[in-house]
Amino acid sequence: MKESTASDPIAMDCSEDTDSPWYAETSSVSGPTKADPVHPMCTSSIPACARLIGQLHIMIVGDSCVGKTQFAHRLLREIELAFGSKTEIRSGDTYSLMGGHPELRQDAPPFEMTEYRASTAYTILWPVVSDNGHTSLPNASSWPSKSAPVYSVTVLDTRGYGETTNAVEAMTRVTTYLEQAFVNTQAIYASSTPHHNFYRLLSPGFGIHELVDVVLYLSHAIKPVDIVYMRRFKPFACVVPVSVIDGIAEPLDARCGMCKSSNILLPDTRVTQIQSGGCDEDKQDTMLPFVINGRVNTDVEDFNRLCNLLFRPSKLDRLRYWNVCKFVEWLSLKQEKAVKLQEEEVEKKKATGAAAGSSEVEAAK
């Protein structure tokens, strides 16, 4: 069977993603199983099971003029096409958009960023108000028709490091944002929460957190500065490399070149590559880097595969699980630093006390 591609649009996939371990939990509700309003059948690269992904945060980073904003608009158009809700846009900087605790603000100045919010799901509005002003409550024999979009997808479009005089400064600003998401997530829960409990508390799609699920790193060709950038991201998020080509370059050549560069400069950059297990489809969908065309849709690019990774719960949940692992590791390192600092303070006080005692003895003599 011929594989659908961006130039050969696929009908919206209305099958449920039953491979996700959290599927049974979300679908076992009484009454009608689909509360979403009925939309006409349309063509989109976004699968219908994207309504089960929960809150998804995507950050797009890379060099200047690589096509980050154009790619963000393309992704958002696909979501609008599949689910019919308009995108909300909010501009600001890494601090005004993040909010929360200002623990890390002294480490980096604010960084301009655009936040897009899109919807892949709907929620029922209760109570339902009728034309005569009366309200109705849910019951077993009725199902309301009024609903509102749930803005479940957040896309963060960052400035390219080429717009700054110091690329490291731009990297620090973005990594500070990612670490601040860790800080804000930690603040949600009690400080006494055992670290291993976060694997349950941050269950993919349903846990309360502010973590960035995926960082899409766009580039025309891997350069040493790109490797440094991705290495800085690694402790705080899963990085998915995306190669942006023009209308002339062959995607296979672009993928081979990017893989060769990343393997030579940093073998562990491909953090989302499945090492073993899984079906052939899973391995194909996570082939890295993804190659997309920056100008036109082609029948050989990987945009559909990338959407399948981002919006199908059974695939996205892998990335989310690895993010929870990164968060737990960050908590452990932070705790170790706190214990070490406390021990140093105790040793310093002991040394100060010993010195004071020696001075008193000398004075007594």
Whole-number pLDDT of residue 173: 84
Q: Which amino acid is at 315?
A: K
Whole-number pLDDT of residue 215: 93
Q: Say if residue 284 is exposed, middle or buried (CB neighbours under 10 Å; 0-12, 13-18, 19+).
A: middle
Q: Residue 121 falls within a domain, yes or no? A: yes
Angstrom distance (rounded) from CA 226 to CA 229: 5
Among residues 117, 123, 51, the alpha carbon closest in space to that of 86 is found at 117
Residue 92 phi, psi (nearest 5):
180, -150
The residue ranking higher by pLDDT, 318 or 267, is 318
Weakest mean pLDDT among 275-284, 317-326, 327-336, 352-361: 275-284
Q: Which domain holds residue 324?
A: 23-339
Read off the pLDDT of residues 141-154 as tens digits, 9 standing for 90 and up. Answer: 555 556 677 888 99
Q: Residue 218 falls within a domain, yes or no? A: yes
Angstrom distance (rounded) from CA 204 to CA 191: 21
Cross-strand bridge partners of residue 81? none
For the stretch 330-347, what's the b/e string if a residue is b when 16 or more beta carbons lie within 10 angstroms of its beta carbon? bbeeeeeeeeeeeeeeee
Q: Which amino acid is at 323?
A: N
pLDDT greater than 70 at residue 217: yes
Q: Residue 358 falls within a domain, yes or no? A: no
Number of domains in the chain: 1
Q: Residue 248 falls within a domain, yes or no? A: yes
Q: Residue 229 falls within a domain, yes or no? A: yes
**329 — alpha (psi -120 to 50), left (phi > 0) or beta?**
alpha
The DSSP letter of residue 235 is: T
What are the structure tokens assigned to 108, written together? 């980096």
pLDDT greater than 70 at residue 109: no
Weakest mean pLDDT among 42-56, 208-222, 267-281: 267-281
Quote the distance between the C-alpha of residue 82 and its chain's center. 20
Q: Residue 361 falls within a domain, yes or no? A: no
Q: Residue 145 falls within a domain, yes or no? A: yes
The residue ranking higher by pLDDT, 78 or 288, is 78
Residue 28 phi, psi (nearest 5):
-90, 65
pLDDT band for 6, please (50, 70, 90 cuts): very low
Whole-number pLDDT of residue 31: 35
Q: Residue 310 falls within a domain, yes or no? A: yes
pLDDT band for 131, please (50, 70, 90 cuts): low
What are the structure tokens assigned to 174, written together? 């973005």
Distances (CA, A) of 210 to 57, 150, 236: 8, 17, 12
Weakest mean pLDDT among 93-97, 207-211, 335-339: 93-97
